[in-house]
Chains A and B, each alone.
Chain A
Amino acid sequence: MTGVLTEAVARLLLAPSLILAAAILVKGYSDVGDGFTAGVVAGLAVLLQYAAFGYRRVERVLPVRAAVGVALAGLALALAVAFVPLLWGAEAVTHYPRPAEHVVHVGTVELLTAVAFDVGVFLLVLGMSVGAVDAFARAAGERREP
């Protein structure tokens, strides 16, 4: 079903897509895009690999087995950012540095807890899309070739 061309395109697109996703993610607070979009874009890039190579070859090259773990790690990160401030009496989802405080910039990236929260969303969405695709691909593949 998939030809040499598809495989070539898929292989060529993987790295740029992931770099695009990373860019969308880290520039989220200063430019268009956020963790969710970044997660979907990265997920699409991996999905393309599945379409081109099948789950067996993808699993050999990419760490897709960790998808569920990545998703849960993302959730844990977001939960931590949201609820740790409760420990010292601040409200849930209080981000630091507070308004009017100084923010450290690394290029366009701002070092904010809100960005960490967004990274959590990114990891969850990426893990979710890859994990779901992997589950279905595996189930379908194992049914065809038991």
Chain B
Amino acid sequence: MTPSRLLSLGGVTLAGAGFVALLAVWLLGGGAVDLPWAPTLGSRLAFRVDGLAALYGLLATGIGLAVFVYARAYLPIHLAHQGRPEAHGVRLYAFLLLFLVSMVGLVTAQDVIVLFVFWDLTAIASYYLIGFDRQDERDRRAALMALLVTGASAVLLLVGVLILRDRYGTLAIDPILAAAEGDRATSTAAVLIAVAALAKSAQAPLHFWLPRAMVAPTPVSAYLHSAAMVAAGVFLLGRFHPLLREVPGLLEGLVAVGIASMAVGGVLALTRDELKQILAYSTVAQYGYVVFLLGLGTAASAAAASLYVLVHAGAKCALFLSAGAVTAATGENRLSRLGGLARPLPVLAGATGLAGAALAALPATAGFFADELFFGAALERGAAFAAVALASAALTLAYIGRFWTEIFLGARAVEADRLPALLVGPVVALAGLLLAAGFFAAPLARLARDAAETTWRAPVDVSLAYHLDARPENLLALATYALGAVLLVARRWWWPAALAAARVGERAGPERLYHGGLELLNRLSDRIHDVEVRDLRTRVAAVLVPASVLVALGVAVTGAAGVYTTGSIAADDVGLALVLSLAALAALAATFPRHHVTIALVLASGGLSLAVAYAFFGAPDVALVVVAVETMLGLALLGVFALLPRRVLRREARVPTSGRRRWRDPLVGVASAFFAFVLVWSALSRPAPDESIAAELTRLAPEAHAADVVTAVLADFRGLDTLVEITVLAVALLGVGALVRRRAA
């Protein structure tokens, strides 16, 4: 069995086993794991399956199972289409697995640091998955965009949770939420966390990365949009909802973002031609629903948000998988080139229709209940909110209707191949679940209730049933169907307006800001790079000059009074002083000769005089090392000169110093030497502490069975440092070997 197939099988097994395990733990009333991890930070590996974790965890594993099964059939087609070997699939499966595991870790985490780690892992996994077709520049750019937007906002999450730790003195989520107050620190943290969540959930104005990310292979898109990544954002809002509620104005902000996303996503989804683009903008709009609901801030809205996430995940995953199947069968991915596929692909058409119906909230599917709760929660807050809900639900119906009818109805536009069962099976299974939940909604209701109770921290009532009366929710649903149908039929009237809106978004939208910012950063980095690495001298100056400026600033700020003292030279110091002046002279002398070998020899003489100085100080170990290293270094320099052609060296030695460099280099050298001198002088002027570290180490050395303190420090007291250093040496050796062999080849 190839590694690719093995991993795929492992993914199916793990997702399935994870689903069953999570289901069992949830039905048995939850469970928790708590292990010590980083005691000095106060961080623990604490995980718990509560209502919210059960909902998102079951989604991540359940949808993950469908995605893994689907990928087994889809990926070989995808890779063959691009002429890539099957072994490339290993990367996809491996990162999908990482994605799955980090999602489950994220939703069950009970410690903010652990939560952050898993949050970032999802971003990393999505980067590799979106950029899976790495030979394609568009894919690489999309992956980078997703990573930058969600990764940069992840930093906000980290800052937010650290502020919370500062304020509440714990890293555990539950105590923080229980003690949450609306003070300034909490508000700052809450806003930061909310922004991170909204960027992850692709909410306006940070939504632009998600439609780009649809370049990923279909199983990845399906997973990303329904149960992972994007879902992680609204999960975070649900997890920290008690905290967000304490901050005045924040929930209103969420409502505004939700409405904006519903509008942007809905209108753009109506105008797109590419199948996955339509679905991607639809995702922006659908998570806009959830953010809007969480912003309404009532028990009913928390329940509606939970149920909505559930239904949306199933429906959106099915739709993505179906879009991928359609493309696999026909080779087309645009609505305008598809049509009439209901006849050759009846099963797929039926299943996709069911999933679309669930998303569009038609009765007899779970989607109807989701929209009923959605309308109910909006109505509770007033007519204006209900109008918003109505408008976005109608938009949803319109673009899903357009999606389905233009693929499956109308005149046959393309030929369709027979599809393998594994490409259709997951769509049918998900559609079947959505249909079944339209009649037996109790399990769904229980899951949504448990999740809402975690979010709301109080009992929440969720009852799902059909009511054949004229209650406002039913009227709103009927109005949605009517309005959506009108939109679908009267396309001619609004089409130009919607296109214009889309174009304005492209011209002046936040994506331009992203590109502009990226370009600016790139240019700045290029400029610094140009200055820094023009030649060896500028590279050295790039370190020395900023260091000197920092020292100068330090001196300016702290003042010089009393910091600089002078001592006297005793009779037995004369030898040391002489040797040191010899080293200084050698250093100075090294700046004059032009002949390379002479420079190397003079430099070595400086180093060796320092060795003598160490010997005077009674540090024979250091002196020995200096002698050995200086010898090695001098020989290495001479060896390099021997390898270079003689005439190159001669020519280089004769090149006159250019006018600018004649002043710049000495200036940089003298200035940095001066500030280094100032720094060393102030350090030496301080009275030595009574029990210095050196004395401590000398006292400890005999206990470590060592007569030689330096060796004891290297091998024992600071053994870990030595270990890291020699590891670097080993890596350098391997690098040298590879480099030389490559040059020789």
The interface size of chain A toward B, counting residues with CB under 8 Å, comes to: 55
Chain A hits for B704, CB < 8 A: 95, 99, 114
Q: Are B720 and A82 in contact (CB under 8 A)?
A: yes
Bound form: Cα–Cα A142–B716 in Å: 43
Q: Are B741 and A95 in contact (CB under 8 A)?
A: no
Chain A hits for B628, CB < 8 A: 37, 40-41, 44
A33 to chain B, nearest CB (A): 6
B117-125, B581-589, B722-730 - the one binding chain A: B722-730
Chain A hits for B743, CB < 8 A: 139
Q: Give chain A interface residues in 125-144, CB to chain B under 8 Å.
A: 125, 127-129, 131-133, 135-136, 138-140, 142-143
Bound form: Cα–Cα A120–B712 in Å: 15
Q: Does B573 contact A (CB under 8 A)?
A: no
Q: Does A112 contact B (CB under 8 A)?
A: yes
> Contacts A33-B711, A40-B629: A71 and B733 contacting too (C-beta < 8 A)?
yes
Residue of A nearest to B738 (CB): A135
Residue of A nearest to B625 (CB): A37
Produce 1/0 per residue, A84-106, CB < 8 A to B: 00000000110101011001000
B204-212, B228-236, B396-404, B631-639 - the one binding chain A: B631-639
Bound form: Cα–Cα A129–B510 in Å: 55
B632's partner among A35, A40, A72, A118 (CB-CB below 8 A) is A40
Q: Are A75 and B730 in contact (CB under 8 A)?
A: yes
A99's partner among B703, B708, B715 (CB-CB below 8 A) is B703
Q: Are B632 and A139 in contact (CB under 8 A)?
A: no
A68's partner among B632, B703, B737 (CB-CB below 8 A) is B737
Chain B hits for A35, CB < 8 A: 714-715
A127's partner among B629, B716, B733 (CB-CB below 8 A) is B733
Q: Give chain B interface residues in 632-681, CB to chain A under 8 Å.
A: 632, 635, 639, 643
Q: Does B419 contact A (CB under 8 A)?
A: no
> Contacts A32-B620, A34-B715, A135-B736: A121 and B726 contacting too (C-beta < 8 A)?
yes
Q: Give chain B interface residues in 375-409, CB to chain A under 8 Å.
A: none
Q: Are B740 and A135 in contact (CB under 8 A)?
A: yes
A81 to chain B, nearest CB (A): 8
Produce 1/0 per residue, A27-71, CB < 8 A to B: 011111111110011011001000100000000000000001001
> Contacts A93-B723, A95-B716, A121-B722: A33 and B705 contacting too (C-beta < 8 A)?
no
Bound form: Cα–Cα A30–B632 in Å: 25
Q: Are B726 and A120 in contact (CB under 8 A)?
A: yes
Q: Are A93 and B632 in contact (CB under 8 A)?
A: no
Chain A hits for B744, CB < 8 A: 138-139, 142-143
The interface size of chain B toward A, counting residues with CB under 8 Å, comes to: 40
Q: Are B726 and A124 in contact (CB under 8 A)?
A: yes
Q: Are A34 and B621 in contact (CB under 8 A)?
A: yes
B79 to chain A, nearest CB (A): 36
Q: Does B710 contact A (CB under 8 A)?
A: yes
A115 to chain B, nearest CB (A): 8
Bound form: Cα–Cα A113–B490 in Å: 84
B569 to chain A, nearest CB (A): 28
B736 to chain A, nearest CB (A): 5
> Contacts A36-B714, A44-B635: A124 and B730 contacting too (C-beta < 8 A)?
yes
Chain A hits for B722, CB < 8 A: 78, 117, 121
Q: Does B553 contact A (CB under 8 A)?
A: no
Bound form: Cα–Cα A44–B635 in Å: 9
Q: Are A128 and B732 in contact (CB under 8 A)?
A: yes
Bound form: Cα–Cα A114–B716 in Å: 6
Chain B hits for A115, CB < 8 A: 715
Q: Does B706 contact A (CB under 8 A)?
A: yes
Bound form: Cα–Cα A11–B118 in Å: 61
Bound form: Cα–Cα A56–B624 in Å: 31
Q: Does A19 contact B (CB under 8 A)?
A: no
Bound form: Cα–Cα A79–B730 in Å: 12
Chain A hits for B726, CB < 8 A: 74-75, 78, 120-121, 124-125
Bound form: Cα–Cα A31–B708 in Å: 5
Chain A hits for B729, CB < 8 A: 71, 124-125, 128
Residue of B nearest to A111 (CB): B705
A95 to chain B, nearest CB (A): 6
Chain A hits for B730, CB < 8 A: 71-72, 75, 124, 128
> Contacts A34-B714, A40-B632: A78 and B723 contacting too (C-beta < 8 A)?
yes
A98 to chain B, nearest CB (A): 9
Interface centre among B643, B733, B743 (most CB of A within 10 A): B733
Residue of B nearest to A108 (CB): B707
Bound form: Cα–Cα A139–B744 in Å: 6
Q: Are B720 and A32 in contact (CB under 8 A)?
A: no
Q: Are A118 and B624 in contact (CB under 8 A)?
A: no
B737's partner among A47, A112, A135 (CB-CB below 8 A) is A135
Q: Does B80 contact A (CB under 8 A)?
A: no
Q: Does B571 contact A (CB under 8 A)?
A: no
Q: Are B643 and A92 in contact (CB under 8 A)?
A: no
Q: Does A110 contact B (CB under 8 A)?
A: yes
Q: Are A118 and B737 in contact (CB under 8 A)?
A: no
Bound form: Cα–Cα A43–B706 in Å: 26
Q: Are A29 and B737 in contact (CB under 8 A)?
A: no
Bound form: Cα–Cα A68–B710 in Å: 27
A78 to chain B, nearest CB (A): 6
Q: Are B703 and A118 in contact (CB under 8 A)?
A: no
Bound form: Cα–Cα A28–B740 in Å: 34
Q: Are B629 and A136 in contact (CB under 8 A)?
A: no
> Contacts A129-B632, A136-B740: A36 and B625 contacting too (C-beta < 8 A)?
yes
Q: Are A28 and B720 in contact (CB under 8 A)?
A: no
Q: Give chain B interface residues in 665-705, CB to chain A under 8 Å.
A: 703-705
Q: Does B179 contact A (CB under 8 A)?
A: no
Residue of B nearest to A114 (CB): B715
Task: Please name 21 pairs of A and B residues whose Cβ atoms are closer than 8 Å in the assembled complex, sorted by A.
Answer: A28-B711, A29-B705, A29-B706, A37-B621, A40-B631, A41-B628, A71-B729, A78-B726, A79-B727, A82-B723, A92-B719, A95-B719, A99-B704, A117-B715, A118-B711, A120-B726, A127-B733, A128-B729, A135-B740, A135-B741, A138-B744
Q: Which residues does B use to contact A, with CB under 8 Å?
A: 620-621, 624-625, 628-629, 631-632, 635, 639, 643, 703-708, 710-712, 714-716, 719-720, 722-723, 726-727, 729-730, 732-734, 736-737, 740-741, 743-744
| Known contacts A30-B706, A40-B628, then 11 further A-B pairs from the complex at CB < 8 Å, ordered by chain A residue | A33-B711, A35-B714, A36-B714, A71-B733, A82-B720, A103-B705, A125-B729, A128-B730, A131-B737, A133-B639, A135-B737
Q: Which residues does A use to contact B, with CB under 8 Å?
A: 24, 28-37, 40-41, 43-44, 47, 51, 68, 71-72, 74-75, 78-79, 82, 92-93, 95, 97, 99-100, 103, 110, 112, 114-115, 117-118, 120-121, 124-125, 127-129, 131-133, 135-136, 138-140, 142-143
In order of increasing CB-CB distance, the 10 nearest A-B pairs are A93-B719, A40-B628, A99-B703, A34-B711, A30-B707, A135-B740, A114-B715, A32-B620, A139-B740, A128-B733
